[in-house]
Structure 1
């Protein structure tokens, strides 16, 4: 798939994930809101990684996405994200407020299904390209 198509698809995917996350936030509270928000944040990061590097494979993209999420989570231990979040809703959404070790486990929950889907789609695409690149063979009418 061309890089431009991947980028457009990732923008659409990130927008869809955002709508789902905001919908859950509007309709629910407590643990469902917290944990689904964490997993969906990681899903958006995965889409962002593929937007930036559209040719990246599923495993490297997943590793970068989860690694980034973990870095942001540990960055919260510094207090800088909390200070920025007090001044900006965007900073609050992007960086969070306080460290929660449970989030470290929820980030892969948002990324692993996308890695699996990416892997499956990539394999199907390669199989389709491989089948279409085979020369057309007509049945032989000659007898040996």
Structure 2
């Protein structure tokens, strides 16, 4: 139960907050700010899902997996497959996108960096609490 309360529950909450932030930015904003914030948050969401699945993952590994996945999805858009799937499914459109956009790669990197920093800070704080005999 300790790993659930210490890592998985916060990761689940972070994933939900990330989705809410992404939807909020899209609803309230427009143009490139909303688009690129959404790109960065996409990678943050992937990072939180990695932590949810593998709670002991190191921050650098979680960020690397999230960035790699995000970039792979972006390069997959160079094929016609994501656009064809997106035409049939809203979920596919949200997860896979429709067309390649090189600047997205930069914003995925920003999302991975922010996610890494937050994960590292939270994990470091938790480790300090454990070394003091508390549960963090």
TM-score exceeds 0.5: yes
Task: Select between 67-76 and 10-19 the one with higher mean Cα deviation.
Answer: 10-19
Distance across 1 between alignment mates of 2:49 and 2:19? 12
1:47 is matched with 48
Unaligned runs of 5+ in 2: none
How big is the shift at 1:129?
2.3
Runs of 4+ in 1 over 3 A off after TM superposition: none
How big is the shift at 1:36?
0.6
1:86 is matched with 87
TM-score under structure 2 length normalisation = 0.90
Distance 1:29-1:79 versus aligned 2 partners, 3 A rule: same
Q: In the comparison of the two structures, how many residue pairs are matched?
A: 133
1:97 is matched with 98
Task: Select between 82-91 and 116-125 the one with higher mean Cα deviation.
Answer: 116-125
Distance 1:27-1:124 versus aligned 2 partners, 3 A rule: closer
Distance 1:9-1:124 versus aligned 2 partners, 3 A rule: closer
Alignment RMSD: 1.6
Paired residues for 1:124-139 under 5 Å: 124-132=125-133
Contact kept, 8 Å, 2:44 with 2:114, in 1: the verdict is no
Q: Say which one has the larger Rg.
A: 1
